[in-house]
Amino acid sequence: MREILFRGETIDGQWVCGDFISIKQRDKELCGIRDYSLLRNAHVCDRSTIGQYTGIDDKNGKKIFEGDILEAHFDEFFPDSATRVSVAWHGAGFVVKQNETMWDMLCPEDREEWEVIGNIYDNPELLEVSE
């Protein structure tokens, strides 16, 4: 059974993992993450940064979440040439996206190739194409 886990950035810039929660506060609805500490603290998060764990870990054992940036070296003849993609939900599954029109399913079989190097919120420059 796949672990259901979410990650989000709190309003003070901390990244937290846990359960997704909806927080009603007066006339507005906020979203957040309830962490897995003994106190089960609730953290209000920026809604745009909340992403789900894909159920796949990278080659170093790090959990891959929506919004992560992955890197792989697929070409054995050009080991310095890296492929970088972002992780997103598309249709009925998690995908790796090179751009808005090029994407492929994120497969557990590829876990030994991918390494998490950042995320689209803190490190968008990692996806910029150099000319």
Domains contained in the chain, number: 2
Residue 110, classed as helix, strand or coil, is helix
In this prediction, residue 1 has a pLDDT band, given cuts at 50, 70 and 90, of low
Domain boundary among 48, 65, 80: 48
Q: What is the pLDDT of residue 114?
A: 94
Q: CATH code at 97?
A: 2.30.30.290
* 1 belongs to a structural domain: no
Mean pLDDT for the stretch of residues 44-48: 92
Q: What is the pLDDT of residue 131?
A: 47
* 78 belongs to a structural domain: yes
CA dist., res. 118 & res. 103, Å (int): 18
Check the CA dihedral 79-85-91-93 and report its sign: positive
In this prediction, residue 103 has a pLDDT band, given cuts at 50, 70 and 90, of confident
Domain that holds residue 29: 6-48
* 116 belongs to a structural domain: yes
Does this model's pTM top 0.85? My answer is yes
Q: Is 82 in contact with 31 (CB distance < 8 Å)?
A: no
